[in-house]
Amino acid sequence: MMATVDFRTDPAVSEKWKTRFAFFEQFGAPSTQTYKDELKKLPFKEKLLINTNLFAFFFGVIYMAIIGLWKKALVVLGMAVAINVVLYILHVPAPISRGVGFGFAALCGLCTNYALYLKKVKGQDGWNLFEGMRW
Protein backbone atom coordinates (compact mmCIF):
# COMPACT_ATOMS: atom_id res chain seq x y z
CA MET A 1 0.00 0.00 0.00
CA MET A 2 1.31 3.43 -0.91
CA ALA A 3 1.68 6.44 1.37
CA THR A 4 -1.39 8.60 1.80
CA VAL A 5 -1.80 12.29 2.54
CA ASP A 6 -3.89 14.07 5.14
CA PHE A 7 -5.53 16.40 2.65
CA ARG A 8 -6.96 18.64 5.39
CA THR A 9 -3.55 19.76 6.65
CA ASP A 10 -1.22 19.21 3.68
CA PRO A 11 -0.27 22.60 2.18
CA ALA A 12 0.53 20.92 -1.16
CA VAL A 13 -3.18 20.08 -1.65
CA SER A 14 -5.08 22.99 -3.19
CA GLU A 15 -8.40 24.21 -1.83
CA LYS A 16 -10.20 22.86 -4.88
CA TRP A 17 -8.84 19.34 -4.24
CA LYS A 18 -9.51 19.66 -0.49
CA THR A 19 -13.16 20.40 -1.30
CA ARG A 20 -13.39 17.41 -3.60
CA PHE A 21 -11.60 15.05 -1.21
CA ALA A 22 -13.72 16.20 1.75
CA PHE A 23 -16.90 15.51 -0.22
CA PHE A 24 -15.72 12.01 -1.15
CA GLU A 25 -14.58 11.37 2.42
CA GLN A 26 -17.92 12.42 3.89
CA PHE A 27 -20.35 10.96 1.34
CA GLY A 28 -18.46 8.04 -0.19
CA ALA A 29 -18.00 6.86 -3.75
CA PRO A 30 -20.00 8.25 -6.68
CA SER A 31 -21.82 4.92 -6.90
CA THR A 32 -23.42 5.31 -3.44
CA GLN A 33 -26.90 6.68 -2.92
CA THR A 34 -25.65 9.08 -0.23
CA TYR A 35 -23.22 10.63 -2.71
CA LYS A 36 -25.95 11.03 -5.33
CA ASP A 37 -28.39 12.58 -2.85
CA GLU A 38 -25.85 15.05 -1.48
CA LEU A 39 -24.60 15.99 -4.94
CA LYS A 40 -28.15 16.92 -5.96
CA LYS A 41 -28.29 19.44 -3.10
CA LEU A 42 -25.28 21.39 -4.35
CA PRO A 43 -25.44 24.40 -6.67
CA PHE A 44 -24.43 23.71 -10.29
CA LYS A 45 -20.92 25.18 -9.96
CA GLU A 46 -20.12 22.98 -6.95
CA LYS A 47 -21.57 19.90 -8.67
CA LEU A 48 -19.25 20.59 -11.56
CA LEU A 49 -16.28 21.02 -9.20
CA ILE A 50 -16.93 17.74 -7.37
CA ASN A 51 -18.09 15.57 -10.24
CA THR A 52 -16.01 16.75 -13.23
CA ASN A 53 -12.41 17.63 -13.95
CA LEU A 54 -12.18 20.01 -16.89
CA PHE A 55 -8.42 19.61 -17.27
CA ALA A 56 -8.91 15.85 -17.60
CA PHE A 57 -11.74 16.43 -20.07
CA PHE A 58 -9.63 18.62 -22.36
CA PHE A 59 -6.20 17.02 -21.91
CA GLY A 60 -7.23 13.42 -21.16
CA VAL A 61 -4.54 10.84 -20.59
CA ILE A 62 -1.76 13.43 -20.57
CA TYR A 63 -3.28 15.21 -17.57
CA MET A 64 -4.05 11.92 -15.83
CA ALA A 65 -0.44 10.78 -16.26
CA ILE A 66 0.93 14.12 -15.03
CA ILE A 67 -1.07 13.99 -11.77
CA GLY A 68 0.07 10.42 -11.14
CA LEU A 69 -2.82 8.36 -12.48
CA TRP A 70 -0.63 6.76 -15.14
CA LYS A 71 -2.14 3.28 -14.73
CA LYS A 72 -5.64 4.55 -15.40
CA ALA A 73 -4.30 6.75 -18.22
CA LEU A 74 -2.84 3.66 -19.88
CA VAL A 75 -6.19 1.89 -19.55
CA VAL A 76 -8.00 4.80 -21.24
CA LEU A 77 -5.35 5.01 -23.94
CA GLY A 78 -5.55 1.26 -24.60
CA MET A 79 -9.34 1.35 -24.79
CA ALA A 80 -9.26 4.35 -27.14
CA VAL A 81 -6.71 2.76 -29.46
CA ALA A 82 -8.57 -0.56 -29.57
CA ILE A 83 -11.94 1.05 -30.27
CA ASN A 84 -10.50 3.40 -32.89
CA VAL A 85 -8.83 0.49 -34.69
CA VAL A 86 -12.17 -1.32 -34.80
CA LEU A 87 -13.90 1.84 -36.05
CA TYR A 88 -11.24 2.23 -38.75
CA ILE A 89 -11.59 -1.39 -39.87
CA LEU A 90 -15.37 -1.01 -40.05
CA HIS A 91 -15.03 2.25 -42.05
CA VAL A 92 -17.18 4.17 -39.58
CA PRO A 93 -17.93 7.77 -40.65
CA ALA A 94 -15.81 10.55 -39.13
CA PRO A 95 -18.63 12.14 -37.08
CA ILE A 96 -19.11 8.87 -35.21
CA SER A 97 -15.37 8.61 -34.57
CA ARG A 98 -15.37 12.17 -33.19
CA GLY A 99 -18.31 11.24 -30.97
CA VAL A 100 -16.34 8.31 -29.59
CA GLY A 101 -13.44 10.68 -28.93
CA PHE A 102 -15.80 13.00 -27.05
CA GLY A 103 -16.96 9.98 -25.04
CA PHE A 104 -13.38 9.22 -23.99
CA ALA A 105 -12.87 12.86 -23.03
CA ALA A 106 -16.01 12.70 -20.88
CA LEU A 107 -14.80 9.45 -19.33
CA CYS A 108 -11.52 11.08 -18.32
CA GLY A 109 -13.33 14.14 -16.98
CA LEU A 110 -15.70 12.07 -14.83
CA CYS A 111 -13.27 9.48 -13.47
CA THR A 112 -10.24 11.59 -12.56
CA ASN A 113 -11.38 13.30 -9.33
CA TYR A 114 -12.44 10.14 -7.52
CA ALA A 115 -9.46 8.20 -8.89
CA LEU A 116 -7.06 10.79 -7.47
CA TYR A 117 -8.91 10.70 -4.15
CA LEU A 118 -8.47 6.92 -4.04
CA LYS A 119 -4.77 7.25 -4.79
CA LYS A 120 -3.84 10.16 -2.55
CA VAL A 121 -6.17 9.65 0.42
CA LYS A 122 -6.94 5.93 0.45
CA GLY A 123 -3.66 4.67 -1.02
CA GLN A 124 -5.39 2.64 -3.74
CA ASP A 125 -3.65 2.90 -7.10
CA GLY A 126 -5.15 0.15 -9.21
CA TRP A 127 -5.79 -0.31 -12.90
CA ASN A 128 -9.60 -0.27 -12.59
CA LEU A 129 -10.71 2.98 -14.18
CA PHE A 130 -14.32 2.51 -13.05
CA GLU A 131 -13.64 1.81 -9.37
CA GLY A 132 -16.37 3.46 -7.29
CA MET A 133 -18.04 5.06 -10.29
CA ARG A 134 -21.78 5.09 -10.98
CA TRP A 135 -21.85 2.76 -13.95
Kindly state the percentage of the chain with pLDDT values over 70.
96
Mean pLDDT of 33-59: 95
The alpha carbons of the chain give a radius of gyration, in whole angstroms, of 16
Is residue 107 in some structural domain?
A: yes
pLDDT for 135 beyond 80: no
Is residue 8 in some structural domain?
A: no
| Choice between 8 and 122, residue whose per-residue pLDDT is larger | 122
Is residue 23 in some structural domain?
A: yes
Is residue 13 classed exposed, middle or buried when 0-12, 13-18 and 19+ CB atoms within 10 A define those classes? Answer: middle
pLDDT for 115 beyond 70: yes
Is residue 5 in some structural domain?
A: no
Question: What is the C-alpha to C-alpha distance for residues 19 and 14, in angstroms, rounded to an integer?
Answer: 9
Is residue 133 in some structural domain?
A: no
Summarize pLDDT for 1-41 with one digit per residue, the tens.
566 778 877 888 899 999 999 999 999 999 999 999 999 99
Boundaries of domain holding 75: 15-122
pLDDT at 132: 85
Is residue 129 in some structural domain?
A: no
Is residue 57 in some structural domain?
A: yes
Mean pLDDT of 111-115: 96
∠ CA 10-132-44 to the nearest 5 degrees? 70
Is residue 131 in some structural domain?
A: no
For the chain, the domain total comes to 1
